[in-house]
Amino acid sequence: MVGQVTESAGETTVRAHITVSGRVQGVGYRAFAARVATRRGLSGGVRNLDDGRVQLDVEGKKSVIEALLHELQKGPPAARVTKIETEWSAATDRFSSFSIWY
């Protein structure tokens, strides 16, 4: 159901557009984010932005994405996250897995 909130086991499937600021490029942050998202069964992708931030588009259960956000705040050992911005919307169901976008 494109553009609609879907429900699974009593919990809605949503989309989160996440922007991570800090020392998050050149420290393995995208690979870290992809590992965590894949392990949690989320779909979408992660990319570097030209301004030094990292951006994720993630779809899945809201509680699972919230757990992902907690892990993203920590990041890999060399990262230093200073800010995470999240915009929530309805799931699009356009992703079948989680990818690193270049």
Q: What is the DSSP string of the chain?
A: -TTS-EEETTEEEEEEEEEEEEE-SSSSHHHHHHHHHHHTT-EEEEEE-TTS-EEEEEEEEHHHHHHHHHHHHH-STT-EEEEEEEEEEE-----SSEEE--
User: Which residues are designated catalytic?
Assistant: 30, 48
